[in-house]
Each structure stands twice: as structure tokens, then as C-alpha cells.
Structure 1
Amino acid sequence: MKSVFTAFVYPLNKILIGVLLIACTALPALHAQEDKSTTDKLDYRGTPGVYGSISSVGSDSLANLMALWAQAFQRLYPHIKFQIQAAGSATASQALTQGTASIGPMSRALTSVEIERFISQHGYPPTALVVALDAINIYVEKNNPLERLTIAQLDAIFSITRFCGHSNTISKWTELGVTKFGGDRAIQVFGRNSASGTYDLFKKLALCDGDYAVTVNEMPSSSSIVQSVGASIGAIGYAALGHNSRDVKSISLSVDGEQYFAPSATNIASGKYPFTRNLYIVVNKAPNTPLPLLEKTFLTYVLSEAGQQVVSDSHYFPVTGRLLQRQLNLILDK
């Protein structure tokens, strides 16, 4: 299924939210106590000479965050324009390599192939900034009695290969001990399309690098998966945690079948929840060369206390402490 997307354009203090029609893997570092001294040294407010436009191409999982960051940044710099395309993480590295985007949001880490292509074009690697922490969540409809799954069971639902070790494919709810839907109710399965970083990360972590089953309904965005699961009896799907809704509930997961962890803030920050991930903005920054003032000022805002409050308000998790310090050092070329 091909991805078709509508660009989001943000002129003077106004957001035109388009509709995505068809639209990682390092774990986050443990947090130290937050150090705000670095953000005080680099002020994103009232910087002279900030003008122009930012073109963002990349992750659907970060589309909402990008829209909110852009809106807030335009309150400070009303003449700045944003063009945001959110068709999937795979499009970010392509656009940055080809020079058609100034920033590339990604819900996974760059692959070695993507880095090599960028180096081949520019002579140096891209710079990836961690801008938020997230998790891939497993959703079922809110009235489903299922509470938890092992990774092996999840693999048996979503894959054809079962590399995680389950003996049989799981295709009916009774095979998980759920009798509410009757003996013949098949599990309706929803997942992301192949352009998505969430698709790639789930394949690695949940399918043990196996292959998706043909029964998985590929969807253009995390929000469309959550909506589909919430509106379907006997459905299950995976999507970014920030897209939760009142019509679905989250499933706790276990690697060993003994300890189960819900996607809570504590479990995600500690890395106990198995599908924790970093969210990135990737930029083209030559060594020993500062970023253009516009991109530098915007990214400083993203990593500021105000920018990270947007992250928290959107049900993601902010970058803090030493991890935050390292990201700001990348912007400052330290």
C-alpha cells in the first residue's frame, strides 16, 4: 500500500491541519536529575535574524508533536513558516540525503544503510537528536478482558514466522483464554505500513525480526490504528503510546512469561517495558559548522523546558538530565 500524505503548512500564527490519508532503536538512557543550566545558556526567545521556513519530512508518530512545536514557535516568530509531511520515518533520511528537507523526525534510529547513503552524498554522517521518549503500545478494545501477553504470544498473533518461540499461530481469541466473543471469533489484527519506523521497530522487537502475517491490516498512521481497534469487536493493534484514547486499553507485556510490565511512565523511563524507544529529529549538520540560525533556534526551543512540556502534555515523555545535556551539546557543536 502506497503512502499518500498532505503537507501541513503553518503560515502566520495559523495551523492548517491536513489529513493523512495513507500515511528504533536504541532504548532511552536512564534519567539523571534535570539540569536546566544548559537551556539557560542558549535562549530561543528573541533571537535576532530568525526568519525563513522549515521543511519537515518524516515520522507520523511525531506529526502531532511537530504541529504543536511549530504553533508555539510561531507565537515567538510569527513570520516563520513550516511545511510538515508525515508519511513515515523512512522518508526522513531520503529527504535529508536529497536535500529536500531541513529536519527529519524519526520514530526509530537511522539504519546503517541510511547513514551510508547520507555520507556518500554529503561526506559526513547526519546528526540525530533525541527529542522525546515514547513506547509502542499494544491496544485492544476497552471491553476486551485480555490484560497481558508474552512477547512470544504477540509474535504468534502478528507474524507468520513465530521466531520468538511460540509453538502455534494464534488466530482466535479462545487461544488466549478469552471466551467473551465465542469460540470462533478470529482476532482482527491492525499494524502500521512499511514506511513507518514503528513498523520496523515492532518487527524487530515483537516479531524477533520475523515476517508479518498477511492477516495484519496495514494502516497509514498510529491514530488510525487506535480508532480501528476501538471501533472493532475482537481487534488488537500496535501504535505509538501517545495516541491512546478512551475506546481502547493497553496490554501489559512480558519477555519471560513471569514479570509483566504496563506501559507506565515509571516502566518506560526505567526500560522495563520492552517496547520503549527514543524519538528523534535528524538534521544535516557538517562537522565543526553551526546549524543555520533558524534550525538551531527551533531545535533549542524543542529541547527547552517549554518544548518538553509540549511532549509531556501530548502523553509522551520528556528528555531530561544528562540525555538532554548531550542533545544540546550537539546543537552547540560541543
Structure 2
Amino acid sequence: MKMNTLLLSGMVAGVATLSASAMAQDVDPNLPVYERTSGVSGNITSIGSDTLNNLMTLWAEEFNRFYPNVNVQIQGAGSSTAPPAVTEGTATFGPMSRAMRDSEIQSFEERHGYEPYALPVAIDTLAVYVNRDNPIEGLSLPQVDAIFSSTRFSDHPEDITRWGQVGLDGAWVNRDIPLYSRNAVSGTYGYFRDVALFGGDFKASINEQPGSSSVVQGVAETINGIGYSGIGYITSGVRAIPLSREHGGEFFEPNADNAATGDYPLARFLYVYVNKHPNEPLEPSVAEFVRMLYSQVGQEVVVRDGFVPLPASAAERVLRDLDLL
């Protein structure tokens, strides 16, 4: 049974036409104001994305301000841990920095008889980081592909292993390019492979890291290093460089405006998956957590954690689809 496939496809198509409030990274004033209700108790467990780990933790803190007796536990080992946890019932929520794969949806459906429900909760810009002392102006996606991949499906004419190959001169000409990457359990790893590597394979020389902050730290400590991670993990030791879709194309900064318009090429939805029976309501604690996500206070947390908030129109679609309005 198709749960919210059409809803999601409509929202994805609308990334380029988000409201002005989302583009300015201010919370849409038309989002509902969340109000505490009675009869909410129990336990909530979140297992999944490292990228969303801090965001889920902040949401849990906000939720506990309304409902101090609800116990919320957060685990963030990687997006690939979310589907089995939601399928097996060991997690209430499965945050993911990518959409579930067909095989993951099929496993859930075989067990429950319907698809898991995908909640698009924020927009993330996936940044390519270099050391703060690296003078590179920007890179095209084909160049990024040639730096990180062994396959070069973008048809870039040569493998890129030194900074001089992307225009740097002086002491940078012969400096090699150490690569920092998330590990294969990460949704960020999968998204970067699918989009920046055009579906190709990473080089065997990548330094796989267990978390997004580890990627950024590695680049900060390696003057000629390069890596990728969510923009929310930026530190003073790195620069998030502008990117273009095509070689010779216009560079766009990884910021809220360019993510919302679709100009920045590595913008994506972040999701939280939940087991929602199509003919039964969500449990009260789950329903209220979802309501809070799509309220002003919930999307203020999104901004606070460095992501792009959703407009009221997107929130209304989900809440109406779940009969939570």
C-alpha cells in the first residue's frame, strides 16, 4: 500500500518554490503554535541518522518541556540503522538523511502489510569542506566526482589527486588531496555517492569516519584535506566551498537561500520515518511529537541546528495527511 509517496514527490518538486520565510531561514509565522495537551506519557526511542542526531536531541529537549514525564532516548549511528529499528519496533522514530531504499521499504511492508511513513522534517545542505587555509574558490560536481570517485561517471577527463589540477598554484600545485568521508552505514555517504559521484564508487583511499563531526575535524587538522558533511557541522577550522553543477558553471554557496531555490546542487530533505498504520491513529505521544515537529517551536529548532526550515504549506500537507489538524 502506498502511504505518502505522492505527498513526498510533491514536496520534493516544491523545493525550488519554498516560501520566502524558509528561504530567509526564518520560521514561517503561519506554522501552528504548539500547545500542550493532556494524556501524553510513555517512552519514545529514536534510532538512525548521525546527521539528525543533534536535531532529534534538541527536539526531545523541547518535547520534555511540554511533557517532562515522557522518556525520550536518541541513538545516532547512521541512517541504515533506522529501517530495521522501525520495522522491528525497537524504535518509535527512524531519522534518515536519505529516503528509504526500495528494499528497506519492502522489508517493512512484508512484516506490517503497509509502507513506513516518511516525515520530511527539514532541508539540509550537504557541504564540501576544505581546510580554512585552502584558497580554492569552488568546485564543479564533475571535479568533486573526479576527486572522490574511482569511476568518474561524470565523464571528467582525468582523475584528480593534486590541488594543482583544480587551479591552485604555488605551494599547492603538487599537494595531494586526502579524502575524508562518512562510512557506508551513513545516509550522507549514500546521498553523496548518488549525487556528487553520479552513482559511482568511492576511491579506496578515502578515510571513512564514524560521524559527521569526525569528517570535519579531519579536514580541519589536514591543510590539504577535503571532506563532506552536513552544513550544521561547520567549524572555524574549515570552509564550506561553493559548488556548481557543471564545469564552468556558476558557483553557489551552501546556504539557506540557495538550498531553497535549488541552485545549490547538494540540497536534500531530511526525514523521520514512523510506523503509521493507514487506518489507525498514531499513539498520543507519537502524534504530539509529530505535531511539535511541524509547529513554530519545532521548526525554530531546525534553524537553531543550522538547517533550513519547512514552510507552513509543507507542514500542513503532512499534518492533514496524518489527520493531525
Q: Give the TM-score normalised by the residue count of structure 2.
A: 0.90
After TM superposition, the structure 1 = structure 2 runs for residues 3-152 of structure 1, keeping only pairs within 5 Å, are 26=12, 29=15, 30-32=17-19, 39=32, 43=34, 45-152=35-142
Report whether the alignment pairs 1:217 with 2:207: yes
Letter in 1 for 2:261: S
Deviating beyond 4 angstroms after TM superposition, the runs of 4 or more aligned structure 1 residues are 24-28, 33-38
CA shift in 2, pair 1:221/1:292, >3 Å: same
Q: Which runs of 5+ in 1 are unaligned?
A: 1-23
Letter in 2 for 1:331: L
Q: In 2, distance between residues paired with 1:288 and 1:88?
A: 30
Distance in 2, Cα, partners of 1:198 & 1:330:
28
- Give the alignment of 1:1-334 within 5 angstroms: 26=12, 29=15, 30-32=17-19, 39=32, 43=34, 45-256=35-246, 257-332=248-323
Contact 1:173 1:181 in 2 (8 A): no
Distance 2:135 2:108 in 1: 47
Further displaced range: 172-181 or 130-139: 172-181
SS at match of 2:269: strand
Identity %: 42
- Sort the Cα spacing of 1:69 and 1:333 in 2 relative to 1 into closer, same or farther, 3 A: closer
Closer, same or farther in 2 for the Cα pair 1:33/1:275, shift >3 Å? closer
In proportion to residue count, which structure has more helix? 2
Cα 1:106–1:182 shift into 2, 3 Å: closer
Count of residue pairs the alignment pairs up? 308
Q: CA RMSD in A?
A: 1.9
Give the unaligned 5+ runs of structure 2.
Answer: 1-7, 22-27
The alpha-carbon distance between structure 1 residues 215 and 180, as it changes in their structure 2 partners (threshold 3 A), is farther
More deviation in 223-232 or 190-199? 223-232
Contact 2:118–2:273 (Cα < 8 Å) also in 1:
yes
Report SS of the residue matched to 2:273. strand
Shift in alpha-carbon separation, 1:191–1:180, aligned structure 2, 3 A: farther
Deviation string for 1:116-158 (max 9, x for gaps)?
Answer: 1111010000110111110110000111000111111100100
Structure 1 length as normaliser, TM-score? 0.88
Question: Residues 143 and 37 (structure 1 numbering): CA distance in 2 closer, same or farther, change over 3 Å?
Answer: closer
Partner in structure 2 of residue 18 of structure 1: none
Amino acid paired to 1:171: T
Alpha-carbon distance in 2 for matches of 1:213, 1:234? 17
